[in-house]
Amino acid sequence: MDPAVPDADAASPSSEVARRVLLASPRGYCAGVDRAVVAVEKALEHYGPPVYVRKEIVHNRHVVDTLAARGAVFVADTDDVPEGARVVFSAHGVSPAVRAAAAARSLRTIDATCPLVTKVHKEAVRFADDDFDILLIGHAGHEEVEGTSGEAPEHIQVVNSPDDVDAVEVRDPERVVWISQTTLSVDETMETVRRLRERFPALQDPPSDDICYATQNRQVAVKKMAPSCDVVVVVGSANSSNSVRLVEVALESGARAAHRIDTAAEIDPAWVADAATVGVTSGASVPEILVRDVLTRLAELGFGDVEEVRTATEDLMFSLPRELRADLKAAGAETRPAREGRRSLDVQGV
């Protein structure tokens, strides 16, 4: 048995095992979030405030508030940006209609869309060009889903969950393909695909996984530690799809309870009063400082022993958006801050 993960029975409050924290790894920032946040930081440094950002750059309240304090102005849409101003598109991506609206207002855009979201957009365009019906598995209303759907609205229909499969209608059952939002539960997505394939046996798969590596890695880490945990605490905001999924994964994988919080201040001592083992993880848009605050609070509650549960090592780093990188390079400025333990990958053209 992996020595980092105690036997599930040993986590019982009635055992003699000391109170402990199992800390999931990987957790927190993924490469796409890191890229988007750094893009706004570098834009503020280089151009000076205000720098407008369409929607939340990533779905984390702490990140948004911190950037706003530095001069970022978050807006609901391009119509809220002064004509000719500079605007950053969030990591979740935008539709062609949004890009056209920005161009009509002569906005100077910085595209911080996660390259893995861009990949899904390009899949949608290609399948639409081939006249497929595209079943986009995702949450209707989520910014990423809106952006992807906007690439080919006449070909795409959103499938929210396995329960929605029976309502799906297509023009030709022989020309159907599925794609997905990048931040979903892997298990639920595969169940949706299974049910879709029962209805449409010719259903085609995307050329590669659409659920991003970071989402999958964080879910795998939670699955490994959850059976040993009385309680799992997930750090992440309510509008963060991947954070909400981690709570679900923890419960489905054997945790006795699971709670999502934005900050350590939201921890209810009653959650851990009778616990022996508390699991801690964080969504892909959560800075590590928030996790450290949670560990400090748990230590105050008697959980000072922290053991890491590592299931993968992430070292991928995406290059900054092309528009910003070009301006920084012309000015002789750093085009990427050093990030220890990550390798750089130029993603332009992905």
* Residues labelled as active-site residues: 144
Question: By three-state DSSP, how is residue 58 classified?
Answer: coil
Instruction: Mention every residue, 6+ apart, whose C-beta is less than 8 A from residue 251.
Output: 226, 257, 258
E strand or H helix at 214, and its extent? helix 213-225
Q: How far apart are CA 91 and CA 114, in angstroms?
A: 5
Name beta bridge partners: 176. Answer: 133
Beta strands in the chain (DSSP E): 20-25, 51-54, 72-75, 86-89, 108-111, 133-137, 156-159, 176-180, 231-235, 258-261, 277-282, 305-310, 316-318, 343-345
Q: What angle do CA 239, 243, 245 make, to 5 degrees?
A: 105
Q: Exposure pattern of 54-89 as b/e (b: 16+ CB <10 Å)?
A: bbbbbbbbbbbebbeeeebbbeeebeebeeeebbbb
E strand or H helix at 146, and its extent? helix 143-149
Instruction: Say if CB 278 and CB 232 are below 8 A apart.
Output: yes
Query: Looking up tokens 């151009």, which residue turns up?
Result: 47
Q: How far apart are CA 26 and CA 164, in angstroms?
A: 32
Q: How far apart are CA 23 and CA 303, in angstroms?
A: 12
Task: Give me the amino acid identity at 194.
Answer: R
Instruction: Mention every residue, 6+ apart, whose C-beta is less than 8 A from residue 138.
Output: 144, 145, 148, 158, 159, 160, 180, 181, 184
Q: How far apart are CA 286 and CA 28, in angstroms?
A: 5
User: How far lies 242's CA from each of 27, 51, 236, in Å?
Assistant: 11, 27, 9
